[in-house]
Amino acid sequence: MRGEHRRRRKPVVTGWRGRALVAVLGVGALAAGTGVIALSQSDGRVARLSSLSTPTAPAPTCADAATMPLRAALAQTLMVGVAAPTRAELTQLAKLGIGGLFLHGDGMRELTDGRLKRLAKSAVPPLVSADDEGGRVQRIAAAGSMRSARKQAQLRPDQVRALARKRGEKLHRYGITMNLAPVVDLAGNNPAIGDRAYAARPDDVSRFAGAFAAGMREAGVLPTLKHFPGHGRATGDSHRGAAVTPPVASLRASDWKPYRTLGATGTAVMMGHLTVPGLSTKGLPSSLDPAVYRALRTEIGFDGLVVTDELSEMKAVPFGIGQSLRRAIGAGADLALFFAAPARVPKLLDSLERDVRAGRLSEARVREAAGRVLAAKTCS
């Protein structure tokens, strides 16, 4: 690719244990002396894990999810959505030790005055995320406009990769470290997805979404494949109510292929709020359903970070936020995404602590989730 000889690329590490190496060694140590790379190549094929050499110098380490206080581990499982957060609100959330921050909106001030960048100086900084797919879903106006996934698919994969790398570099300069994109749903008749999907064929989706994810990782931004178990061919819109996918056998044969192809290339996965005939537990959207998380972990073999779609406002979620957080984490989510005023978060943590003490939420599950969140970060 043009310009490769002038740019040292950030490594992309596969799997939870691979990302744990980033948490322990730091990105700089990996870039200096390792070959742990798993990126989509310019023609869209996926390169697999290569060898890891010994780092030349020690690097800072993250907190230990197994020994950190329970409240701190619970805080790591929360991704709080905020719009135009003030410095005081960001400071409050940082002190609580939340695992992630989701920027809802395109406020210029917090992007350009350095307040997000200062979060990176925390001992265990939160993942700072945004929806930046392109087209009708791009929240960061300061980064300029980007074409939709459907229009990206009119380019070559190497061009998509370059586009995503350039975009990711802009996001990273503002302090954004996680992008809730690319969409790997198959194109179908669902208007909630529409031109957010790259293509109808799984191999085409894998080729272009893989290129986009690779470019983001090269820029130091964690990409997120979404919306498992597959929204593109579903009926209904989970923003407005129940959304039902084709039967599970159909998903296994097509919609899940991009996750199998790309799930070991250094990405997170977003769990949607969907109902899957033949798999789902009655009354539970996939974001709250252990059966669907088991399918992702065991059938797909995904061992990385799983974040839910938004839990507090999307109508497919039938419970209040406190119960939804408990159910999502208990079912298998590592990061539970929701909108809330920062002042409300301590009370939600109080509620989750009571859930653990009362046996309604497994402490082991909490610490497993916190471990994956910490492994996805580079800590200072």
Give the domains, in start order, of the chain with CATH numbers.
4-375 (3.20.20.300)
More confident residue, 141 or 4: 141
Mean pLDDT computed over 81-107: 86
What pLDDT is recorded for position 84?
Answer: 79
309 classed as catalytic: yes
Catalytic residue among 106, 131, 237, 239: 239
What pLDDT is recorded for position 317?
Answer: 95
What pLDDT is recorded for position 63?
Answer: 86
What pLDDT is recorded for position 32?
Answer: 29
What pLDDT is recorded for position 109?
Answer: 65
More confident residue, 141 or 242: 242
What pLDDT is recorded for position 239?
Answer: 87
Lowest mean pLDDT segment, chosen from 86-90, 207-211, 363-367: 86-90
Tokens of 214: 């690779």
Separate counts of helices (H) and strands (E) for the chain: 15, 10
5 classed as catalytic: no
Angle of helix 345-357 versus helix 87-96 axis, rounded to 10 = 10
Q: Collapse the DSSP code of 128 into the 3-class scheme (helix H, G, I; strand E, B; otherwise coil) and give the result.
A: strand
What pLDDT is recorded for position 345?
Answer: 97
More confident residue, 189 or 299: 299
What pLDDT is recorded for position 240?
Answer: 86
State yes or no: cis peptide before 229, omega within 30 of 0: yes
How does pLDDT run across 217-265, given as a tens digit for each residue? Answer: 999 999 999 999 999 999 988 988 889 999 999 999 999 999 999 999 9
Lowest mean pLDDT segment, chosen from 22-26, 101-105, 313-317: 22-26
| Amino acid occupying residue 172 | H
Averaged pLDDT score across all residues of the chain:
84
Lowest mean pLDDT segment, chosen from 8-17, 85-94, 204-213, 306-315: 8-17
How does pLDDT run across 165-222, given as a tens digit for each residue? Answer: 999 999 998 889 999 999 999 999 899 999 999 999 999 999 999 999 999 999 999 9
Predicted confidence (pLDDT) at residue 304 exceeds the cutoff of 70: yes
d(CA 261, CA 92): 39
The residue written with tokens 């250094």 in the block is 266
Question: Phi and psi (nearest 5°) for 244?
Answer: -115, 125
How does pLDDT run across 265-297, given as a tens digit for each residue? Answer: 999 999 999 999 999 999 999 999 999 999 999
What pLDDT is recorded for position 107?
Answer: 57
Catalytic residue among 204, 309, 334, 355: 309
Predicted confidence (pLDDT) at residue 49 exceeds the cutoff of 60: no
Predicted confidence (pLDDT) at residue 61 exceeds the cutoff of 50: no
What pLDDT is recorded for position 55?
Answer: 32
Residue 378: which pLDDT band, with cuts at 50, 70 and 90?
low
Predicted confidence (pLDDT) at residue 336 exceeds the cutoff of 80: yes
Mean pLDDT computed over 344-373: 98
Would you say 169 and 219 are in contact if contact means Cβ atoms under 8 Å apart?
yes
Mean pLDDT computed over 354-378: 95
More confident residue, 361 or 377: 361
Would you say 74 and 92 are in contact if contact means Cβ atoms under 8 Å apart?
no
What pLDDT is recorded for position 208?
Answer: 98
Report the candidate in 129, 133, 132 with the shortest Cα–Cα distance to residue 103.
129
Tokens of 184: 């790997």
